[in-house]
Structure formats: structure tokens, C-alpha cells
Amino acid sequence: MDPNNLVEMLSQTVERYPEKDALMWKQDGSYTSMTFQEFWDRIRNLAAGLNRLGVKPDDKVAILASSNEMWAISDFAIGSLGAVSVPVYPTIPSNQVSYVLDNGDCTIAIVEDDEQLQKVKDGEAEVQHSIVMKPGSDFTATDNLSSFTSLEEDGANHPLKDWEEQWGAIDGDQLMTIIHTSGTTGSPKGVMLSHDNFLSQMKAIQFWVIELRPDDVHLSYLPLSHVFERMAGHFMPLMAGTTIAYAESIDTIQDNLQEVKPTIMTSVPRLFEKVYARVVDQIENGSPMKRKIFNWAIDVGKERYDYYLSTPVHELVLNPMPKKLQSQVIRADRLVYQKIKDRLGGRMRGMVVGGGSLNPDIAKFFWSLNVPILEGYGLTETSPVVTTNPMTRAKVGTTGKPIPGCRVRIASDGEVLVKGPNVMQGYYKNQEATDKDIVDGWFYTGDIGSLDEDGYLKIVDRKKRVLVLSTGKNVAPAPIESAINESRYIEFAAVIGDGRKYVSALVTPDMENLLPWAKEQGIQTESRAELCERDDVQKLLKDEVAHLTASYADYETPSKVVVIGDEWTVDSGELTPKLSLRMKNIEEKYSDLIAETYDEASTSAKEVAAEAR
């Protein structure tokens, strides 16, 4: 029977798999776990504890923490009371935390530790009670401060007698969460998403992308405060009975892959770009024979992918591969593929990527290794998935087809419009913005895209990010940035040039790979700033940009490359929590440098481009 709300959805999974592991997390140096029944019992206890604090239907409760088992418990406990969770990125500073808490009308905040608690205290939001997941040694409970454990214990001692009836009566159109947008183009807006918004997604996706199974293990490293991980790495696995293992952090992802050995994973493009760059670097520095074997194996993999894409599905069932190709794939897997797949834990059967544009060459590389990467597209306002590539017919270079029940059309100016049960209820306390973005039921995404002859969607860029040069040419920076990010020596690239005669690129170095290169060149310093000022380092990065953008039109190719010595992070404001560029912040921070770059009259754009090439 289809569930009426997300809590009922989880209760059905608990009934099917009570003793199966639901969540895994690192504790005291090793992974520990809890079963679905234990997970459910802790949700029940926390819900009772929150009820004793006065939480009632429609109240707003913030969750300010990195992804962990208590985040998941909090999410369902809040929802089971008919209340509304307001996730907050743990990486944002206190002034932004204060904005989200205030805009979301949060009366209670569940925070990870003392550091996050201080952000709540520093703000002006009227939070009446804070709950700390991991209190410090000097923690003291007060009338408006509790520990997570004590609140669970209080709930266990004073259970809600009508809890099942309470969550069972929640309708699908009940507000489940308010997720604030990243605010790349202005103040964040609170996106209102209901139980039905998410349930419609799960019903459409489960047999459309990768069919999640109870024996799957999902490694979760993206923040649960982001809608992509919340739906694809939280609700979806829990519906299917899949075990969720939380990575410690993005910095430990390689170790956690080996410890957990996941079968499924969601990610943003940056992880795949880094893995790809590392593999290519090792191959290029290997022996000629290794390079020859590697290139042969990749060619075999591409042939397998092309066969898979061009052969009708019913024929694939009867004849998955020609015998000659099959024998080549088996040999290539033994010699090359498995060694690379072992870096992902050795059991990966599929990865879903969202939150940005993935370079088609990188996607096809992983497909060649028989590690399917399924790209999709969506926004917070669409819960989030709009389109995704199905496992049975994925097309690299696209974000796939609209999911069942969701309609997509392209406006006359190229903007992608979306209609369906996944579209948000609106922006919280912002009817003006709601009316502007939703017209006659169609959500105006702000993205420029096109549908190919088979109905697959290709996203060009954000509508507001398309650069209009003074020559009249239009340039979409995202694909160019994605190409530049293939370089193992470049961490991030930002392409600029709106209103200018030509485009330029601001690039930051990837110190993990730049330092070994500098050492090989006999460069003694390890200072980031000093390295970025060196002529030989600047030449290296300019040559990388020129090489990786050589296939673009002249007007799309960065004529000037500016090496930025600063590290771009979420905390310093250049990146969103999902590692997208905050172009407004970047252009403001480097406005003088950008003006100086374009004011240099001594060297023409063509001379710089020729020099870089």
C-alpha cells in the first residue's frame, strides 16, 4: 500500500526489515550501526521528547549539523509530529545561520556541537530551545538547553501514547521541510516541500534510475541539508531498506570507500573530476606499456557503451554483447577496470551525479570502466529531480529524460520550465517570488537548456550566468569551467567576461598535485601564495587552460588566465555548500583584479591567447 506520508513510508520498511542495518557511522575509529527497529525506536523517543518541549504541528525546528545518525532521527521525529524541519548548512557563518533561523521562524534548533550552538547564540533569531547532539565536557543543561541524549531519555520515560495515530493522520500535502536556496544571486529563499513532493519523487525514480535493493550499501558524504542528498541519499535508501553509511567528511572519502565498500553513491561532479585527474596523472607518468594497455581497455569500454546505447533494450536482454567484445571486456576488467574500481571500494554498481554539469568525457570514462554514472537535473524547488538518465538507456552528455509524472518544456528564450507533483508549494513568506517563478503551474527554473530528438535534456547554464560579450556573442561559462576543471593542477575555474570583448578565466591551483610538480621542477617553496606568483607555475596553468579549451570557439576560449592565490572555500564565501561557484561573491572580491586584467592595453586578447596556446 502506498504510504500517505514519509513517516508511514519508513514504518513500512521497519516492518519488512526490523533487524537489518539502517544506518552506519564512524565512532571511536570504526564503523558502528543501528538496525531499522532501533532507528524507529529512537525516532519515537525523540518525538516524545520534542513534544514535551512543546513542539506541535507546523512548528519549525532547525537542524544545524553535518550528516550523521542523529540528523536522520531528528528529521523523522520532527516530521512525525506534523512539524517542519529547517535544515541549515553547518559550514555557513553565524550571520547566515541567523538569517535562515529567522526567516524560517525556527523556535527550536538541533545543533551538532558547541561550535554550531555558538552560531545560534550569536544570531538574533528568537530560538527558544537548543538541543546539542555532541555536547562538550563542560556542557550544562538549562531551561533552554538540552543534550540530544537526555531528550531521547526523557521521551523514552514519557512516551507519546497516540504517536502512531498522530503521524498516521498526516496528509501528503502537509509541509515536511523548508530548505533555503544557496543564495548565489541574492538572499536565500525558503523552499516549502511537502511529504507528497518527496513521495512523488521516490515513486517515479525507484524503477527509473537504479533500483535500490535491501542488500545495497549507500555511502553518504553530501550534506543532508542539501535537497539532493536528502532525497536520493536519505529518503530513497530508507524506503528500499538500503543501508546508509555516513562518510566522516569529504577529506576522508577515500578511506571511507575502502571501509564501507558501497554499492551505490550520490555525488557532485567535483569528486569524479578529482578521481579522473588522479588516474590520468598516474597513467601519464607510467610506462609506455601501461599507457598502451590502459588506452586499449578504455577503447574497449567505450565500444561496450556505444553498443549498449545503440542496441534496442529487448535485444540487449537476449544478447548483452557480441562474443568478441565480451571476451575483450573480461580481459580489460582484469587488467585495468577492477584496479580503478577498487579505489571506489570494489563493489560500486552505480553512481548518481547531480548539483552541476559533469564533463561528458569524464562520464564516458567511468562508463568505460563499467561504473555507470547516471546524471540528472533538478533544483531545490523541484524536490529536486526533474530529469535523470535511466540505467537501461543512459545518454552521456545529457541529464536524461523527465521522470514519470513530470513535464518539461523549453520556453522561447531557452529557459527550462517544469510542471508536476515534484514542484514546491512555494517560497516561505515570499508570495511575490512564488508568483514570479510559478506561472500557471509551470516553474521557471532559470536554467537554459534544450531537448534532443529522443527527449533527453541538455542544460547549458544558468540563465543569469550566460555571458553576453560586447561583440554580441553569447557564452555559457559552465561547460568551459567543467573542461578546465579536468586539469589535475586546477581546483576551480570561474569564467568571466559579461559585457567585455572576450572571456577570461580565474583559476585556483590544486595544491595536492601542484606541490609534487613543483618539487620535481626543483622549486623549494610550499607556500601557496609564492607558487602562484611564479612565472613557471602561471605558465603551467595557462597552458592547461589553453589545452583543455582548444575545442571551443575562439570567442569562448579564455583569452586571459588569472591565477588566484587564495583558496576558495564555503567559509570564505566563494563556494556554496554543494561546491558551486558564488559568482557574485567572486566578482566582488576580485573586482579590482578583474578590472586591471581587462584594462591592460599593452597586450591584445589575441596575443595573450596565442601566448597561452
The alpha-carbon radius of gyration of the chain (Å, integer) is: 25
Same domain, 152 and 286: no
pLDDT of the residue at 600: 60
Residue 199 domain-assigned (yes or no): no
Q: How far apart are CA 245 and CA 257, in angstroms?
A: 10
User: Beta partners for 504?
Assistant: 496, 560
Place of cell 543564495: 183
pLDDT of residue 210: 77
Q: How many H-runs (helices) and E-runs (strands) does the chain carry?
A: 25, 27
Q: Clarify whether residues 275 and 251 are in a common domain.
A: no
Tell me the pLDDT band of 358, cut-offs 50, 70 and 90.
Answer: confident
Burial class (CB in 10 A: 0-12, 13-18, 19+), 443: buried
Q: Supply the pLDDT for residue 610.
A: 37
Contact (Cβ atoms closer than 8 angstroms) between residue 453 and residue 443: no
Mean pLDDT of all residues in 328-333:
94
Residue 447 shares a structural domain with residue 471: no
* Bridge partners (DSSP) listed for residue 33: 24
Per-residue pLDDT averaged across 141-161, rounded? 96
| pLDDT of 168 over the 50 cut | yes
**At 9, which helix (H) or strand (E)?**
helix 6-16
* Higher local confidence (pLDDT), 602 or 461: 461
- SS3 at position 426: strand
Residue at 195 is within a domain: no
Instruction: Assign residue 334 the CATH number of its domain.
Output: 3.40.50.12780
What's 570's domain CATH number? 3.30.300.30
| Helix (H) / strand (E) containing 592 | helix 591-599
Q: What pLDDT is recorded for position 327?
A: 95
Task: Please report the DSSP string for 37-54 in residue order.
Answer: HHHHHHHHHHHHHHHHTT
Q: How confident is the model at residue 393 (pLDDT cuts 50, 70, 90)?
A: confident
Domain boundary among 425, 440, 463: 463
Please say which residue of 402, 434, 463 terminates a domain: 463
Closest CA to 182 of 381, 429, 434: 381
- Reduce the secondary structure of 71-134 to three states and give it as a string: HHHHHHHHHHCCCEEEEECCCCCHHHHHHHHHHCCEEEEEECCHHHHHHHHHCCCCCCEEEECC
Are residue 280 and residue 368 in the same domain, yes or no?
yes
The amino acid present at 147, given as its one-letter code, is S
Question: In this structure, is residue 194 part of a structural domain?
Answer: no
* pLDDT at 261 (0 to 100): 96
At 286 the three-state DSSP class reads: coil
User: Residue 57 CA to chain centroid, in angstroms?
Assistant: 30
Of 162-171, 299-308, 482-491, which one has max mean pLDDT? 162-171
Residues contacting 541, CB < 8 A, separation 6+: 487, 489, 490, 507, 509, 561, 563
Tell me the CATH number at 213. Answer: 3.40.50.980
Contact 62, 110 (CB under 8 A): yes
The verdict on 299 and 333 lying in the same domain is yes
Residue 175 lies in a domain: no
Mean of the per-residue pLDDT values for the chain? 91
Q: Do residues 375 and 357 touch, judged by C-beta distance below 8 A?
A: no
Task: Record the cell numbers describing residue 386, joined without a space.
Answer: 526533474
Q: Is 180 domain-assigned?
A: no
Q: Is residue 568 part of a domain?
A: yes
- Higher confidence at residue 124 or residue 57? 57
Amino acid identity, residue 290? Answer: K
pLDDT tens-digit readout, 181-197? 875 556 789 999 999 99
Whether residues 472 and 456 share a domain: the answer is no
CA dist., res. 182 & res. 99, Å (int): 12
Q: What pLDDT score does 602 carry?
A: 37
Q: Which domain holds residue 218?
A: 6-170+206-263
- Count the helix, strand and coil residues of the chain and give each as a percent rounded to the nearest 5: 45, 20, 35
> Is residue 441 assigned to a domain?
yes
Q: Per residue in 215-269, pLDDT tens?
A: 999 999 989 999 999 999 999 999 999 999 999 987 889 899 999 999 999 988 8
- pLDDT at res. 159: 96
DSSP string, 489-555: TEEEEEEE-TTSSS-EEEEEE-HHHHHHHHHHTT-----HHHHHH-HHHHHHHHHHHHHHTTTS-GG
Whether the predicted pLDDT of 606 surpasses 50: no
For range 205-211, the mean pLDDT: 76
Residue pLDDT, tens place only, 505-552: 999 999 989 999 999 999 988 899 999 999 999 999 999 999 999 999
Is there a single domain that holds both residue 158 and residue 23?
yes
Q: Give the residue, 102 or 273, on which the prediction is more confident.
A: 102
* Position 298 pLDDT exceeds 60: yes
pLDDT over 60 at 609, yes or no: no
Q: Are residue 452 and residue 501 in the same domain, yes or no?
A: no
Same domain as 21, residue 47: yes
Instruction: Give the residue, 71 or 281, on which the prediction is more confident.
Output: 71
Q: Say yes or no: 470 and 459 in one domain.
A: no
Q: How far apart are alpha carbons 592 and 604 in whole angstroms?
A: 19
Are 454 and 486 members of one domain? no
Number of independent structural domains in the chain: 3
pLDDT in tens, 109-134: 999 999 999 999 998 888 999 999 99
pLDDT value for 534: 94
Pairing of strands 415-419, 442-451: antiparallel
pLDDT band at 608 (very low <50, low <70, confident <90, very high): very low
Whole-angstrom distance, CA of residue 613 vs CA of residue 610: 5
The Cα 464–Cα 584 span in angstroms is: 11
Mean pLDDT to the nearest integer, 318-341: 90
Q: Which of 4-18, 81-95, 185-199, 560-574 has the highest mean pLDDT?
A: 4-18
Please name the amino acid found at residue 120.
V
Comparing C-alpha atoms, which of 131, 151, 134, 101 is closest to residue 27?
134
Q: Are residues 24 and 130 in the same domain?
A: yes
pLDDT (0 to 100) of residue 607: 40
* 142 lies in some domain: yes
* Cis omega (within 30 of 0) for bond into 57: no
Residue 373: which of 301, 270, 267, 458 has the closest Cα? 267
Q: Report how far residue 517's alpha carbon sits from residue 543's, in angstroms, rounded to the nearest whole number.
A: 15
pLDDT value for 391: 80
The pLDDT score that the predictor gives to residue 184 is 54
Residue 34 vs residue 271, higher pLDDT: 34
The residues, any chain, with a CB within 8 Å of residue 5's CB and separated by 6 or more, are: 79, 167, 170, 171, 172, 174, 176, 195, 199
* Spatial distance between the Cα atoms of 574 and 501, rounded to a whole number of angstroms: 25
| Dist CA 32 CA 417 (whole Å) | 44
**End of a domain among 263, 294, 310?**
263
